Structure 1
Amino acid sequence: MKIKFIPQKIKRILIKNQYVEFQLKGHKKISEKKNKYYTI
Structure 2
Amino acid sequence: MQLKGLNEEQGNVVSRFGLKLVYGSTLVSVLSASIAALVL
Q: TM-score range by the shorter chain?
A: under 0.3
More strand by share: 1
TM normalised by structure 1 equals 0.17
Higher relative contact order (CA 8 A, sep 6+): 1
